[in-house]
Structure 1
Amino acid sequence: MLADMTSEPEKHTGAGVPDAFERLWTPHRMAYIQGENKPTGPGAEDGCPFCAIPAETDEDGLIITRAEHVYVVLNLYPYNSGHLMVVPYRHVADYPELDADETAELAELTKQAMTALRTASAAQGFNIGMNQGAVAGAGIAAHLHQHVVPRWGGDVNFMPVVGHTKVLPQLLADTRKMLADVWPS
């Protein structure tokens, strides 16, 4: 239950003293925040998850589809249900490093992702983009990946705006299966 915001907030005088804020604790995110398991170099043996994921089964790796140069995987830390990434197999950091075939396939799988998300979940819009470099917000800057985030009218409510918390209504394994089942050929 949320605190009654109409009453005067209690003053915070020390640890454990209540104030006017309810808190949602997500200690499992601390590993991500602190950068645990960040790649130390190129390749799966150096901790790059985008190099390691293709060796897993589609279900275990949350892979939706595989192509010759690029694959599509669900984001482990999604902004919205269905948030996926289009990732080249080759370990490159910067968009201009992609060759023509990789660039074309990345674009084609992005289009297919939009089609699948519209089919599976009636997505009304999308945020699509790449964060190039750590200073630009790339969580894993060493391996290029393009985000495809489905959006719906009203999908931003008080939880992310005020509570800095996102409520996701579906497990990642269920989302992966739903999208894989409708992925365009």
Structure 2
Amino acid sequence: MVDPEFVPQDGVGIPDALQRLWTPHRMAYIKGEGKPDGDDARGCPFCGLPDLDDAEALIVARGKAVYAVLNLYPYNPGHLMVVPYRHVADFTELTAGETVELAEFTQHAMRVGRRVSAPHGFNIGMNQGVVAGAGIAAHLHQHLVPRWGGDANFMPVVGHTKVLPQLLGDTRRMLADAWEG
């Protein structure tokens, strides 16, 4: 005999005590939508972002050779990427000027992040090649992820969900406003 309390309601499943945190926007990332094919700059999101308005593109700051942009699928609030304007895949292919500005932008992003959100630390790095975890391997980008004690909990491990306490537009505005200050 089936307990009537656990009969599916309107075909949506069996009720349980779990809360659901829906993140349907991540499906585009999971499916790999918007990723460029091969080394072609056409269709590369990092090549197209500088043509957009900063708020629309989530660009925090622009330099001569690189720009800082929020990650559309962040690990934590304030997860930035420093991206060269030039479509280049490998760190060794950067010019001396691009390398210096990428490093300076990363340092400045750390200072700004500390000022506006007081992280306890940072993860900084770049994934070179698909096998190394690069989501968009054809266009080099360096990640800067603010970290706080306790920011990694059971949600990503058990629920495969990251809880972010701030909207991307709010994060971009906060960092962009503090970039020059």
- Deviates further, 26-35 or 63-72: 26-35
Matched, 1:67 2:67: no
Query: Hey, what does 1:76 align to over in structure 2?
Result: 72
1:14-53 matches, cutoff 5 A = 16=13, 24-40=21-37, 41-43=39-41, 46-53=42-49
1:1-185 matches, cutoff 5 A = 16=13, 24-40=21-37, 41-43=39-41, 46-184=42-180
Counterpart CA distance in 2 for 1:169 and 1:17 is 29
Counterpart CA distance in 1 for 2:19 and 2:117 is 32
Query: Hey, what does 2:7 align to over in structure 1?
Result: none
CA contact (8 A) 2:70 2:80 kept: yes
**Is the partner of 1:30 in helix, strand or coil?**
helix
CA shift digits 1:59-110 (9 cap, x unpaired): 1111110000000000000000000000000000000000100000000000
Q: TM-score, normalised by structure 2?
A: 0.86
Q: TM-score, normalised by structure 1?
A: 0.84
How has the CA–CA distance of structure 1 residues 65 and 22 changed in structure 2, closer, same or farther, with 3 Å as cutoff? same
How has the CA–CA distance of structure 1 residues 29 and 95 changed in structure 2, closer, same or farther, with 3 Å as cutoff? same
Shift of residue 114 of structure 1? 0.3
**Is the partner of 2:150 in helix, strand or coil?**
coil
**Aligned AA for 1:99?**
T
CA contact (8 A) 2:29 2:73 kept: no
Counterpart CA distance in 1 for 2:161 and 2:100 is 35
Query: Hey, what does 2:8 align to over in structure 1?
Result: none
Shift of residue 36 of structure 1? 1.6
Counterpart CA distance in 2 for 1:123 and 1:104 is 25
Structure 1 unaligned spans of 5+: 1-14
Counterpart CA distance in 2 for 1:35 and 1:66 is 26
CA shift digits 1:152-173 (9 cap, x unpaired): 1111122123222111111111
Give the fraction of aligned pairs with identical amino acids, expressed as a percent: 71
CA contact (8 A) 2:58 2:172 kept: yes
Shift of residue 38 of structure 1? 1.2
Shift of residue 42 of structure 1? 2.8
Counterpart CA distance in 1 for 2:141 and 2:125 is 9
CA RMSD of aligned residues (A): 2.0
CA contact (8 A) 2:34 2:43 kept: yes
Shift of residue 146 of structure 1? 0.2
CA contact (8 A) 1:69 1:105 kept: yes
**Aligned AA for 2:112?**
A
CA contact (8 A) 2:68 2:105 kept: yes
